[in-house]
Amino acid sequence: MKKYLLGQYEKSMPSNLTWEEKLTLNKEFGFDYLEISIDEKDEKLSRLDWTKEERKNVLDAIFKTGQRINTMCLSGHRRFPLGHSDKEVQNRSLEIMKKAVDLSSDLGIRIIQLAGYDVYYEKGSAETKKIFEENLEKCVYMASQKGIILGFETMETPFMDTVEKSMEYVNKINSPYLGVYPDIGNLKNASLLYNKSVSDDIRTGKGHIFAAHLKETIPNHYREIEYGTGHTEFIESITALKEIGVRMFTGEFWYVNNDDWKDVCINAVKFLRDKLNRVFG
């Protein structure tokens, strides 16, 4: 039995690859599973409307390669947030959630990572937080019907940039189908704002953290930072996550039209395995 699983964020590879190509490369690079992205772009959101045949094509690729798609990064709510004051936007956000749950169920995905935003492109308020909580409860109900787990991603905005803040909503909803799927790079940046240990923050989610994003960051920057060049506390954070029972980790990094993207993926595996193996032995 493996001591942990290491996944690869889908957007670290070119989008024009087939699912069989992505999963084959995912295995060749040395990852254990792939995380599918449903972001706010129409191209990614359209995946929620895949036909039965399109879904079967993905399943065929999974069975042919032996690589699973274990998790979904659902960031489409950034464009259609659960806490938006416009009822039409709310309805669209709930529709996205229902379709994401159905797609996850069809593809065998276990965990959906939810973006921890009440709103993103608008200014939040007491009203948006209230609406967010009301619609979150509906989302958890949808997920519970299909046995899918929802985990908050700790984000780059003050609404939910720590595990402790995520746990406020986890405790309010009080369902086994809602927990936290934190990003340790984002947590490191938040720790500078609040002068709080990342490891201590992680431990506030004990019993409710399902997996973790392993991402490199630098102060005030959250994306496309090369592994080993930032300030993310990989060993300390992974140690805290191990202590509270977390065994699934996803390397989050991006393809940026770079010709050496395969080398970047291979180096990412080496970097992250080194950190994980030093903790897990």
Domain layout of the chain by residue ranges: 5-280
What is the Cα–Cα distance from 233 to 257, expressed in whole angstroms? Answer: 28
pLDDT score for 170? 98
- Range 5-280: architecture per CATH: Alpha-Beta Barrel (3.20)
Whether 76 and 45 have beta carbons less than 8 Å apart is answered as: yes
pLDDT of amino acid 96: 98
Tell me the average pLDDT across 153-178: 97
Which residue spans within 28-87 are E strands per DSSP? 33-38, 68-74
For tokens 């980790």, the residue is: 249
Mean pLDDT value of segment 206-222: 97
pLDDT band at 176 (very low <50, low <70, confident <90, very high): very high
- Residues across the chain: 281
pLDDT tens digit string along 62-114? 999 999 999 999 999 999 999 999 999 999 999 999 999 999 999 999 999 99
Residue 121 — very low, low, confident or very high, per pLDDT cuts 50/70/90?
very high
User: What is the C-alpha separation between 256 and 264, in angstroms, rounded?
Assistant: 11
CB 140, CB 97: distance < 8 Å: no
Which pLDDT belongs to residue 67?
98
Which of the four pLDDT bands, split at 50, 70 and 90, describes residue 169?
very high
Dig out the tokens for 278 from the structure. 């030093």
Environment class of residue 213 by beta-carbon count within 10 Å: exposed (0-12), middle (13-18) or buried (19+)?
buried
Task: Give 186's pLDDT tier (boundaries 50, 70, 90).
Answer: very high
Q: What is the mean pLDDT of residues 146-159?
A: 97
Query: Averaged over 38-61, what is the pLDDT?
Result: 98
Tokens 């276990």 correspond to what residue?
110
- Per-residue CA distances from 206 to 12, 148, 200, 214 (Å): 30, 20, 10, 18
pLDDT confidence of residue 125: 96
CA dist., res. 267 & res. 19, Å (int): 22
* Distance, CA of 121 to CA of 124 (rounded, Å): 9
Say how many CA atoms lie within 13 Å of 147 toward its Cβ: 6
Residue 171 binned pLDDT confidence (cut-offs 50, 70, 90): very high
CA distance 23 to 9: 11
Q: Decide the pairing of beta strands 33-38 and 5-9.
A: parallel
Nearest partner of 146 among 182, 111, 95, 179, judged by Cα: 111
How many CB atoms sit inside 10 A of residue 253's CB?
A: 25
Pairing of strands 212-214, 178-180: unpaired
Output phi, psi for 29, to 5 deg: -65, -25
Q: In this structure, are residues 73 and 80 in contact, taking their beta carbons and an 8 Å threshold?
A: no
User: What pLDDT shows up at residue 219?
Assistant: 96
Percent of the chain with pLDDT over 70: 100
What is the torsional sign of CA 74, 123, 192, 166? negative
Rounded to the nearest integer, the mean pLDDT of the chain is 97
At 58, the amino acid letter reads: V
The dihedral of CA 201, 205, 207, 212: what is its sign? negative
Residues 17/257, Cβ–Cβ less than 8 Å: no
CA distance 213 to 113: 10
pLDDT digits (tens, 9 = 90+) for 5-23: 999 999 999 999 999 999 9
pLDDT digits 0-9 by tens, 131-152: 999 999 999 999 999 999 999 9
- Global confidence as pTM: 0.97
